[in-house]
Amino acid sequence: MARAATTADAFNAVAEPRRRQILDVLRGGERPVGDLVVETGLAQPQVSKHLRVLREVGVVRVREDGRRRLYRVDARGLKPIHDWVAGYEDLWTERFDALDDVLDDLERDEGADGHAE
Amino acid sequence: MARAATTADAFNAVAEPRRRQILDVLRGGERPVGDLVVETGLAQPQVSKHLRVLREVGVVRVREDGRRRLYRVDARGLKPIHDWVAGYEDLWTERFDALDDVLDDLERDEGADGHAE
DNA sequence: TTGACATATGCCAATAAAAGCATGTAACGT
DNA sequence: ACGTTACATGCTTTTATTGGCATATGTCAA
């Protein structure tokens, strides 16, 4: 089977760098599609499609303004992600780093097995 | 072009529900692959492949223990995600909710355009 | 050394995501 | 009414990802 549908949840929606790019622009406040096209350098149809995905998972909202559509972030849609990573916060906030260093040594003998293929 | 590579960054790695599932098990501490197979109900090769992706983006570490390989979470790999969402925290932590409600009304007239297609 | 156990990899088929480009739809100006 | 602006949608092609299954690699035990 192929990958899970992009529109499934916020995790997938945000996995796309361009969508994060769009969201980062929208952090500055409500913007029409045209602005997003200019600021991201993407083609207009692609921006619209990405916005659709973001809308379907609930991380952005639209508002009609004449012939323009003003998009804005709805951070509530990002909360699932926030909550999920928050569950791992203590694993780096606390003193697990000391243990990490020890384990790094043991792991060291794996040679070129690391994370950079 | 197709989608960005899964192994590109933590965002993509974590977009896969099964990989989140694996990570959630690993939150309980170091575990050999066999345990993960049992606890996730996935096939062993798939678990190994997912672990490889997670390793390559740096969210898990391996340690050799005889013929087993003990995996554990390296939360530092999740930090980029944490930091990114944190940038949107104020958008739901503060009193933007009031504004949201107002905008919800304006948006209402879009009819069946919402995020649930 | 031979075989069982633990894990990683390779290959295949199926799926769908994303870009590109054309086109549809709706609102504004004149 | 007409053309233009603003945005969304449809279709096609390319490419990556995923599961399934077989198999390679490495380790332990007898």
Q: Tell the burial category of B67 from Cβ atoms under 10 Å away from its Cβ (0-12, 13-18, 19+).
A: exposed
User: In residues, how long is chain B?
Assistant: 117
Whole-angstrom Cα distance, residue A73 to residue A21? 12
Per-residue pLDDT tens digits of chain B, which is 117 residues long: 666 665 679 999 999 999 999 999 999 999 999 999 999 999 999 999 999 999 999 999 999 999 999 999 999 999 999 999 999 988 876 555 555 555 555 454 443 343 333
- 15-74 in chain A: CB under 8 A from chain B: 15-17, 20, 23-24, 27, 55-58, 61-64, 72-74
Q: Which two tokens stand for residue B111?
A: 């009819």
Q: How far is CA A65 from CA B17, B102, B113, in A?
A: 37, 15, 16
HEC string of chain A?
CCCCCHHHCHHHHHHCHHHHHHHHHHCCCCEEHHHHHHHHCCCHHHHHHHHHHHHHCCCEEEEEECCEEEEEECHHHHHHHHHHHHCCCHHHHCCHHHHHHHHHHHHHCCCCCCCCC
Instruction: Point out the nucleotide closest to B44 (alpha carbon to C1′).
Output: C7
Torsion of CA A65, B110, A73, B6, to 10 degrees: -120
DSSP annotation of B115: S
Instruction: Point out the nucleotide closest to A65 (alpha carbon to C1′).
Output: C27
Q: Which two tokens stand for residue B88?
A: 């949107």
- Residue A27: pLDDT over 70: yes
Residue in B61, B82, B91 nearest the CB of A85: B82
What's the pLDDT tens digit per position in A62-111? Answer: 999 999 999 999 999 999 999 999 999 888 765 555 555 555 554 444 43
Q: Which residues touch strand D (CB under 7 A)?
A: A 1-4, 32-34, 37, 44-45, 47-49, 51-52, 62, 67-69; B 1-8, 12, 16, 18, 42-43, 45-46, 49-50, 53, 64, 66-67, 113
Task: Give the bridge partners for A32, in sequence order.
Answer: A70
Query: Taking a C-beta distance cutoff of 8 angstroms, is the pair A40, A22 a contact?
Result: yes
Global pTM?
A: 0.83
Torsion of CA B17, B19, B20, B24, to 10 degrees: 140
Q: Nearest protein residue to D26's C1' (by CA)?
A: B67
Q: Which two tokens stand for residue B104?
A: 């919800």
Whole-angstrom Cα distance, residue A37 to residue A20? 14
